């Protein structure tokens, strides 16, 4: 069992997937606190519906990112949080939080990192003509979407895809693998060696996948 703090800025669908996994018994975790930088974030309502404590830390109340993060850190530590989960938290993390939770902050990003960090990644994937996109759960470091990778899910890009259609399929995979990554942490199965993450008692798929799938006559 791991005590989790979740940082959110928006609707909180990934938060909901984590709550659902806990309540169904698929995830050995307890969400101790949900913090948002936006008081109108629907994620807060999701948390409150499930009896989870929430807090709002407003950016405008702090003159620097470091002071903002210091308040977030104080709340997380007071709540007994062991793992910080970013679920649509639209702020860069400063050294204050990174040092407070070294390699204990994770994020999910809607691309196959290190390709397409940052924003508007599905648009970039389609414009670049990639045949596969997906999502990545990774530890957070001082860079932008650059920390060690824990788990990835691959989603084929279809010729007819719009940004919205691709985003919807990737989001479904986010909801599947984010609870898995938290469970791996909870079970103590993750080992970080440099930039690589090794998961004990896991196995990579043997078969390669191609897109498009063609038959040569």
* Res. 167: pLDDT tops 80: yes
21-77 pLDDT, tens digit per residue, is 999 999 999 999 999 999 999 999 999 999 999 999 999 999 999 999 999 999 999
E strands present in the chain: 2-8, 29-36, 54-56, 83-87, 105-109, 132-139, 149-156, 190-193, 196-199
Identified catalytic residue from 50, 109, 128, 175? 109
174-193 pLDDT, tens digit per residue, is 999 999 999 999 999 999 99
Residue 109 appears among annotated catalytic residues: yes
Residue 118 tokens, joined: 């940052």
90-117 pLDDT, tens digit per residue, is 999 999 999 999 999 999 999 999 999 9
The pTM for the full model equals: 0.95
Q: Where in the chain is the domain with CATH 3.40.50.170?
A: 1-102, 106-203
How many angstroms from the chain centroid is the CA of residue 25? 20
Q: Which of the four pLDDT bands, split at 50, 70 and 90, describes residue 201? A: very high
Architecture of the domain whose range is 1-102: 3-Layer(aba) Sandwich (3.40)
pLDDT (0 to 100) of residue 208: 86
Q: Please state, as a whole number, how many other Cβ atoms lie within 10 Å of the Cβ of residue 108.
A: 24
pLDDT (0 to 100) of residue 217: 63
Average pLDDT of the chain is 96
Which CATH code is given to the segment(s) 106-203? 3.40.50.170
- The β-bridge relationship of strands 54-56 and 149-156 is unpaired
- The β-bridge relationship of strands 132-139 and 105-109 is antiparallel
Q: 156-165 — which CB contacts under 8 Å span 24+ positions? A: 156/131, 156/132, 156/209, 156/211, 157/125, 157/126, 157/130, 157/131, 157/132, 157/133, 157/211, 159/212, 161/126, 162/126, 163/122, 163/123, 163/126
Q: Which of the four pLDDT bands, split at 50, 70 and 90, describes residue 204? A: confident
């Amino acid at each position: 069992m791991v005590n989790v703090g979740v940082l959110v800025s928006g609707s909180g669908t990934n938060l909901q997937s984590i709550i659902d996994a806990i309540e169904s018994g698929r995830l050995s975790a307890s969400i101790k606190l949900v913090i948002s930088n936006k008081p109108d974030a629907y994620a807060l309502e999701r948390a409150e519906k499930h009896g989870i404590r929430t807090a709002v830390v407003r950016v405008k109340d702090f003159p620097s990112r470091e002071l903002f993060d210091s308040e977030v850190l104080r709340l997380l530590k007071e709540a007994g949080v062991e793992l910080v989960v970013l679920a649509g938290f639209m702020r860069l993390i400063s050294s204050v939080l990174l040092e407070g939770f070294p390699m204990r902050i994770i994020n999910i990003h809607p691309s196959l990192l290190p390709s397409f960090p940052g924003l508007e990644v599905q648009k970039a994937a389609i414009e670049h003509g990639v045949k596969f996109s997906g999502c990545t759960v990774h530890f957070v470091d001082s860079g932008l979407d650059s920390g060690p990778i824990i788990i990835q899910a691959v989603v084929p890009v279809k010729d007819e895809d719009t940004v919205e259609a691709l985003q919807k399929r990737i989001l479904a995979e986010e909801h599947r693998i984010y609870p898995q990554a938290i469970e791996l942490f909870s079970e103590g199965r993750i080992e970080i060696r440099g930039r690589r993450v090794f998961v004990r008692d896991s196995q990579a798929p043997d078969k390669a996948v191609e897109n498009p799938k063609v038959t040569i006559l």
